[in-house]
Amino acid sequence: MHKIKKAIIPVAGLATRMYPISKAVKKALLPVCDIDGRIKPLIFKLLEELVVSGIEEIFLIVNDYDKEVYKKIFEQSSSSVLAKLSSDDKEYDKNLKIIGDKITYIVQNEALGFGHAVYLARDYINKEPVILLLGDTLYKSLNNSISCVEQLLQYFDDVETTIIALKELKEDELKYYGTVQGKWINDEKNKLILSKIVEKPNIEYAKKNLLIDNKFYGNFGEFILTEELFVELENIISKPLIKGTEYQLMDAFDNLINKSRVDGLIIDGNSYDMGNIAAYKDVLRNY
């Protein structure tokens, strides 16, 4: 199996862009139809892909008031519910409990930003490399034999460095994503050594500084974090916040890129920000 055995998934966001459904359903629990035909909460699909790829420990970053919600959905169903389930569903219910046993809940008491949420897991991972997925993002591989998670883990097995998963961006998407600059590693042009990452650049700046073979590439929403990256996060979080700002993960990546090797891997797949109404509608139509 793979060298990475641990994963982080932050699910503490408030999902204000999805109001009013966010009053009733957490983003990570929004329903999606998986390829197995089941309607399931998004978080189930993320966790299942991780476990299939050999991940043994999963750290969910949660709000204190959501912790019990997540814990409850991974408990085995009551006997009255189980009695009404098909044999396949009973087996699925048992597997959910197995997945739930791999989860450790880490509470983010203050909304200090994505970088802060990720940093809270540092003491739990013991300086090991870890894969980070976004709890509000659906990942769909275009290769039925290998998931997006598997693509990233396989690449880390070869290079053992910090990695940002990437996808090609259209000009009107630049305002939503960290966008990179770098040099190709291989003739396939799907692997890069990164020289720059800019969070949500404007089009004029991007055209001048971030084009790679006349294309833009930015965050796919999956990452491999190393201890080097957590050191940069610590340096950022040790400083007081400027009013109205948050601790951002991309700032740590930008700092590390200037000091050490950070790779980019273009994923053969699509990612959908489920906290974005337009993206969620796209998933309902096409996934």
What would the pLDDT profile of 2-51 be if each residue is shown by its tens digit? 999 999 999 987 667 777 777 778 889 989 888 888 899 999 999 999 99
pLDDT of residue 219: 96
Domain edges within the chain: 6-286
pLDDT of residue 20: 78
What would the pLDDT profile of 232-264 be if each residue is shown by its tens digit? 999 999 999 988 899 999 999 999 999 999 999
Indicate if the pLDDT at residue 181 is higher than 80: yes
pLDDT of residue 244: 82
> Phi/psi zone of residue 126: left (φ > 0), alpha (ψ -120 to 50 degrees), beta?
left
Indicate if the pLDDT at residue 183 is higher than 80: yes
263 neighbors 162 (Cβ within 8 angstroms): yes
pLDDT of residue 287: 60
Kindly report the CATH number that applies to the domain delimited by 6-286: 3.90.550.10
pLDDT of residue 286: 64
Q: Which range (164-168, 175-179, 190-194) has the least confidence?
A: 175-179
pLDDT of residue 88: 93
Per-residue CA distances from 158 to 2, 77, 129, 163 (Å): 10, 41, 13, 12
Please tell me the pTM assigned to this model: 0.94
Distance from C-alpha of 74 to C-alpha of 68, rounded to nearest angstrom: 10
When the pLDDT of each residue in the chain is averaged and rounded to a whole number, the result is 92
What would the pLDDT profile of 109-155 be if each residue is shown by its tens digit? 888 999 999 999 999 999 999 999 999 999 999 987 899 999 999 99
Radius of gyration (C-alpha) of the chain in whole angstroms: 19
Coil vs helix vs strand at 226: coil
pLDDT of residue 285: 67
222: β partners: 133
